[in-house]
C-alpha cells in the first residue's frame, strides 16, 4: 500500500468512526478514558521499551540533551499522562448542551446543540505525551483523531496508540477513533492536508516552520499559533512593586514557552523609577536587556535594541524594553508588533485598564496579572489542546468546547413558511 | 497601479480602518447605518442611472431575463435595502459583550469579550443589493469589508459604495471601512485570497463553481456552503396531512433556494398511504417526482430515479423520493447524501424525534417543520450574511455574532504564576 492509500484509508475509517462517536454517552467515554489510564499503568514497561528504541535512535542521530529529555517517557511523564486521562474523564461533557433556545413568533422552538467537529488531524513534534493528551480530549468531545507525531517518537507514539486502541475495542468504540500514522514519510502530511472531505480540522503544534508548512499546504481549516510575542505595559500609575513582580514572573518563571514576556513597555513618567527596580532583578536572574535609547540611558547594563528586537520571540532570558510616551503609544506598539497572543497592563488607573482591555485585540488581554497565566488550565478550561492566535472558530487557549461546534435545532408542530 | 497593488492597498487601508472600528460606539455605528438609509433614498436616481449601465451591458452580453432581474435596482429593491439598513441599526450590537466571567482560585477574574473579526472579504455574484446588506452587517459588527461583486454589476456596486462611503466620511468613520473593488479583473480575487495578513475571513456567495474556486485558492479561512441537498423523512407515525403540508411547502414555496427540499424519504409502513397524498399535490403543482422502484410502484406518474438523483441539488420543481425501512435507514441515507444544510423529520414519536435531532449532524435539524425555515431571519438572528455548512467557526445561518470572535480578558490584582 502506498503512503497515500494508507492515509486515505485511515481518514475514511476515522470519518466512519466519527459518526458513531457523536452519539456515545458520557458514561461510555469516561469509562474508556479511565480504562486507558489503567492500561498505561499496566503496560508501562512495554511502552518504555518502545520508547527506548526512539531514545537510542535519537542518540545515534545526535539529538540534543533537551530533545532527548522531551522524548523520554519517564515514570513521571507516564504518571502525568495517567493523571491527565483521569482529569479529562472528570471534565463535563460538552456534547449535547443546548443553548439559546427560544420560541419564534410562529411557535417553533429554535436553539443550538453542541456537537463534535468530527475528525481532527493533529500534527506535532517530539513529545510523545501529546499523543495521549490530544487523544483523550478528542475522545471526550466525541471526535475521531488522526495523530502524526515527530519521526523521532514513532515507536513511542505507536506503542501508546496500541494501548489506547485496545481499550477502545474492549469498550466497543471503533479503534479508528484514535489512530497514529505508522509512517514517518513526509508525504503522509501532505496527503492528510488534502483530505478535506474526511478531516474537519487540523491542529499543528510545534515550531513556526512546521506551522507555516501546514497552513500553506492545508485545504482543511487549521487552528494555529505561530508565536507568542507577549507585551507588558507598565503605566504611569502602576504599583512598581507589583510591576516588578509580574514582569519578573512573566519573563523568568519559564522563559521557553509562548506565554512568557518578550517586550516590556514603560510609561516615560515612571521610567526612571521603574526601570532600575525591574531591571536589577531581571539582570540578577541573568536576563539580557535590549533597550531603546531612553532605556539604555537609565540602565547602563542594557544593550541597545535593534529593529529586529521588537517583533522577536526570544523564548530565552532576553527582554526587549522600550519607553513610551503614554497609553496610546503603548497601544500603537502592541498593534504593530503583537502576535495576538497575550498582553498585560500594570496600572491602578481605572480608565486605562478598561481602554487596554477593550482596545488590545490579542487573544488574551490582562490587567495586573502575569502573562504566564495565559493557559487553558489556568483559565479554567480544564485541559488545553493548544492556543489559537487566529480569530476564526477559537481565539486563545482551546479546551474541550473548542473541539466542538453548534448546530441549529428546531422543534416544530407543523409550521410551514408563508 | 497594477491590480495587485490596487488590491493590496485596499486591504492595507481596510486593516488600518478596522483597528479604529473595533472601538466605535454603538451610537456612532447606528447613526451611520440610518444615514446610509437616507442617502440611498436621496441618491436613488443616481444609483439607478449607474444600474442602467449594467443593465444595458447585460442585455448586450445576452444575460437571461432572470439574471437581468437579479441585477435590477428597482425602486422596490432600493426600498428593501433601506429597510435592511434600518433593521441592522435596530439589532443589538454584538461587540463588547462579556460572557463566562468567573473567579479563579487565585482571585483573577477570567471571562470572554466579543470583538470584531477585523477585515472581511466578500466575493459574490450578480445581486448588487448584497453590497449594502453585507456592508451594513459588517459595519454593525465593527468589521471593515472589501466587496468583490460580479463584473456585470460593477457600475451599480461602485455607485452604492460611493453613497455608503460619503456617509462614513461624514460620520468620521474611515471610508476604507466599506470598499468595493473597482476592477472586474479576476486577478483581483486571487490577490485578495492571498492577503492572509490583512484579511481575516472570506465569505463567498454564489454558485458552486465560485465557491470551489475561492476555497481552493484561499490562504484565508473561508465560510462557505457548497449546496443545499435538504431531506425530509416521513416517519411511520407522521400525521400525514402535516407531512403533506410541510413537504409541499419545503419543495414548492421557493424551489430555487438552498433550503428547499430535494429528497423525500418515506417510512415503508406508511408509504402506500402517504405517497399518494403527498405526490398528488406535488404533481398538480408541476413537480417532477423521481422515485426509487417502490415509489414508482405506488406512484405510476413518478419517473425512475438514477444514482445521480440522490446527491442532486435541483433548485427546481423536481423531487427525489425514496422508501426506507426505518429511521436507521433514513439516517444512513442522510449521512451519505446530505450537504449538511437542513433536514427535517415528520413524526409523532418522541424517541424518534429526539434521535433525529441528536444523530443528524447537519447544520439545521428539525422536527415537524418546513426546511424553508432554515434562514437567519426565521431563526431570529436578525439579518443573515450567509449560511455555513462547514463546521468551523459558524455552522448554519450566520448573523452578526458570526462576524465576531471572543478574546479572553483577565482582571487581576497582582497575580503571578507559582
Across the interface, do A219 and B216 touch by the CB < 8 Å criterion?
A: yes
| Structural contact between residues B303 and B291, judged by C-beta atoms closer than 8 angstroms | yes
Q: How confident is the model at residue A324 (pLDDT cuts 50, 70, 90)?
A: very high
Across the interface, do A361 and B22 touch by the CB < 8 Å criterion?
A: yes
Burial classification of residue B239, based on how many CB atoms lie within 10 Å of its CB (0-12 exposed, 13-18 middle, 19 or more buried): middle
A211 with A241, same domain: the answer is no
Across the interface, do B358 and A118 touch by the CB < 8 Å criterion?
A: no
| Structural contact between residues B164 and B178, judged by C-beta atoms closer than 8 angstroms | yes
| Structural contact between residues A259 and A371, judged by C-beta atoms closer than 8 angstroms | yes
- Residuewise pLDDT in 10s, chain B (418 residues): 899 999 999 999 999 999 999 999 999 999 999 999 999 999 999 999 999 999 999 999 999 998 999 999 999 999 999 999 999 999 999 999 999 999 999 999 999 999 999 999 999 987 899 999 999 999 999 999 999 999 999 999 999 999 999 999 999 999 999 999 999 999 999 999 999 999 999 999 988 899 989 988 998 999 988 889 999 999 999 999 999 999 999 999 999 999 999 999 999 999 999 999 999 999 999 999 999 999 999 999 999 999 999 999 999 999 999 999 999 999 999 999 999 999 999 999 999 999 999 999 999 999 999 999 999 999 999 888 999 999 999 999 999 999 999 999 999 999 999 9
Nearest chain B residue to A214 by CA distance is B219
Nearest Cα to Cα of residue A262 among A296, A215, A230: A230
pLDDT score for B226: 83
A41 with A159, same domain: the answer is yes
Distance CA(A133)–CA(A117), nearest Å, equals: 18
C-alpha cell, A410: 428546531
Burial classification of residue B22, based on how many CB atoms lie within 10 Å of its CB (0-12 exposed, 13-18 middle, 19 or more buried): buried
A292 with A209, same domain: the answer is no
Q: How far is CA A340 from CA A348, A362, B17, B21, in A?
A: 24, 4, 18, 17
B417 → closest Cβ in A23, A242, A253: A253
B32 with B171, same domain: the answer is yes
Cβ-Cβ contacts under 8 Å, A396 against chain B: 407-408
Question: Does residue A379 sit within a domain?
Answer: no
Asked whether the predicted pLDDT for residue A126 surpasses 80, the reply is no
pLDDT score for A384: 87
Cβ-Cβ contacts under 8 Å, B352 against chain A: none
Residue B173 has what DSSP assignment? -
Cβ-Cβ contacts under 8 Å, B361 against chain A: 19, 22, 115, 118, 407
A204 with A351, same domain: the answer is no
pLDDT score for B216: 87
Asked whether the predicted pLDDT for residue A395 surpasses 80, the reply is yes
Distance from CA of B58 to the nearest CA of A (A): 33
pLDDT score for B185: 93
| Structural contact between residues A289 and A279, judged by C-beta atoms closer than 8 angstroms | yes
Question: Does residue B389 sit within a domain?
Answer: no
pLDDT score for B207: 85
A202 with A257, same domain: the answer is no
For chain A, the maximum distance between any two Cα atoms, rounded to a whole number of angstroms, is 79
pLDDT score for A92: 95
Across the interface, do A23 and B396 touch by the CB < 8 Å criterion?
A: no
Cβ-Cβ contacts under 8 Å, B239 against chain A: 414
Question: Does residue A417 sit within a domain?
Answer: no
Cβ-Cβ contacts under 8 Å, A359 against chain B: 22-23
B33 with B102, same domain: the answer is yes
A215 with A237, same domain: the answer is no
Nearest chain A residue to B367 by CA distance is A411
Question: Does residue A388 sit within a domain?
Answer: no
Distance from CA of A99 to the nearest CA of B (A): 13
The enclosing domain of B255 has a CATH number of: 3.40.309.10
Nearest Cα to Cα of residue B315 among B254, B268, B267, B359: B254
Strands B318-324 and B261-267, sheet pairing? parallel
pLDDT score for B348: 98
Question: Does residue B362 sit within a domain?
Answer: yes
Cβ-Cβ contacts under 8 Å, A368 against chain B: 411-415
pLDDT tens by residue, A18-40? 999 999 999 999 999 999 999 99
Distance from CA of B267 to the nearest CA of A (A): 18
Nearest chain B residue to A215 by CA distance is B219
- CA angle (B259 as vertex; B212, B193 as ends), nearest 5: 25
Cβ-Cβ contacts under 8 Å, B19 against chain A: 335, 361
B217 with B234, same domain: the answer is no
Distance from CA of B414 to the nearest CA of A (A): 5
C-alpha cell, A338: 503583537
- How many A-B residue pairs are in contact by the CB < 8 A criterion? 211
Question: Does residue B387 sit within a domain?
Answer: no
Across the interface, do B117 and A391 touch by the CB < 8 Å criterion?
A: yes
- Structural domains in chain A (count): 2
Cβ-Cβ contacts under 8 Å, B108 against chain A: 369, 373
Across the interface, do B22 and A200 touch by the CB < 8 Å criterion?
A: no
Across the interface, do A246 and B416 touch by the CB < 8 Å criterion?
A: yes
Asked whether the predicted pLDDT for residue A83 surpasses 80, the reply is yes
B408 → closest Cβ in A250, A379, A408: A379
A216 with A239, same domain: the answer is no
The enclosing domain of B156 has a CATH number of: 3.40.605.10
Rounded to the nearest 10 degrees, what angle do helices A44-61 and A154-170 cross at? 160
B26 with B87, same domain: the answer is yes
Distance CA(B204)–CA(B388), nearest Å, equals: 10
Distance CA(B54)–CA(B232), nearest Å, equals: 40
Question: Does residue B75 sit within a domain?
Answer: yes
pLDDT score for A327: 98
Cβ-Cβ contacts under 8 Å, A417 against chain B: 249, 253, 370, 372-373, 378
B105 with B154, same domain: the answer is yes
Rg (CA), chain B: 24
| Structural contact between residues B275 and B332, judged by C-beta atoms closer than 8 angstroms | no
Question: Does residue A163 sit within a domain?
Answer: yes
| Average pLDDT over chain A, rounded to an integer | 96
Query: What's the domain range around A178?
Result: 3-222+396-411
Across the interface, do A216 and B219 touch by the CB < 8 Å criterion?
A: yes
Nearest chain A residue to B339 by CA distance is A197
Distance CA(A409)–CA(B229), nearest Å, equals: 17
DSSP for B241-259 reads HHHHHHHHHHHHS-TTSTT
Amino acid at each position: 500500500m502506498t503512503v497515500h492509500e494508507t492515509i486515505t484509508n485511515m481518514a475514511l475509517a476515522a470519518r466512519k468512526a466519527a459518526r458513531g462517536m457523536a452519539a456515545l454517552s458520557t458514561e461510555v467515554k469516561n469509562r474508556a478514558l479511565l480504562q486507558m489510564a489503567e492500561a498505561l499503568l499496566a503496560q508501562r514497561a512495554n511502552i518504555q521499551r518502545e520508547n527506548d528504541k526512539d531514545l537510542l535512535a535519537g542518540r545515534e542521530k545526535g539529538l540534543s540533551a533537551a530533545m532527548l529529555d522531551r522524548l523520554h517517557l519517564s515514570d513521571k511523564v507516564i504518571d502525568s499522562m495517567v493523571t491527565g486521562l483521569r482529569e479529562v474523564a472528570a471534565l463535563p461533557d460538552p456534547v449535547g448542551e443546548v443553548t439559546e433556545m427560544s420560541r419564534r413568533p410562529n411557535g417553533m422552538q429554535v436553539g443550538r446543540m453542541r456537537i463534535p467537529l468530527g475528525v481532527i488531524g493533529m500534527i506535532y513534534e517530539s513529545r510523545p505525551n501529546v499523543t495521549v493528551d490530544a487523544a483523550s480530549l478528542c475522545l471526550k468531545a466525541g471526535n475521531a483523531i488522526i495523530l502524526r507525531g515527530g519521526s523521532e517518537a514513532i515507536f513511542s507514539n505507536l506503542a501508546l496508540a496500541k494501548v489506547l486502541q485496545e481499550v477502545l475495542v474492549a469498550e466497543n468504540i471503533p479503534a479508528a477513533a484514535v489512530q497514529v500514522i505508522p509512517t514517518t514519510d513526509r508525504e503522509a502530511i501532505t496527503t492528510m492536508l488534502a483530505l478535506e472531505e474526511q478531516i474537519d480540522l487540523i491542529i499543528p503544534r510545534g515550531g513556526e516552520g512546521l506551522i507555516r508548512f501546514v497552513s500553506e499546504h492545508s485545504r482543511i481549516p487549521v487552528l494555529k499559533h505561530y508565536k507568542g510575542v507577549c507585551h507588558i505595559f507598565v503605566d504611569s500609575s502602576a504599583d512598581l512593586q507589583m510591576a516588578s513582580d509580574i514582569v519578573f514572573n512573566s519573563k523568568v518563571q519559564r522563559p521557553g514557552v509562548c506565554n512568557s514576556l518578550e517586550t516590556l513597555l514603560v510609561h516615560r513618567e515612571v521610567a526612571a523609577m521603574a526601570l532600575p527596580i525591574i531591571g536589577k532583578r531581571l539582570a540578577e536572574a541573568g536576563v539580557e536587556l535590549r533597550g531603546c535609547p531612553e532605556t539604555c540611558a537609565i540602565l547602563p547594563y542594557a544593550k541597545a535594541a535593534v529593529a529586529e528586537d521588537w517583533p522577536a520571540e526570544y523564548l530565552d532570558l532576553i527582554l526587549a524594553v522600550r519607553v513610551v510616551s503614554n497609553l496610546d503609544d503603548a497601544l500603537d506598539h502592541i498593534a504593530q508588533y503583537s502576535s495576538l497572543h497575550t498582553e498585560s497592563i500594570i496600572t491602578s488607573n481605572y480608565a486605562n485598564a478598561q481602554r487596554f482591555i477593550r482596545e488590545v485585540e490579542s487573544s488574551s488581554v490582562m490587567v495586573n496579572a502575569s502573562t504566564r497565566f495565559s493557559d487553558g488550565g489556568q483559565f479554567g478550561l480544564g485541559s488545553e489542546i493548544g492556543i489559537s492566535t487566529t480569530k476564526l472558530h477559537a481565539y486563545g487557549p482551546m479546551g474541550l468546547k473548542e473541539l466542538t461546534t453548534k448546530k441549529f435545532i428546531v422543534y416544530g408542530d407543523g409550521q410551514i413558511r408563508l
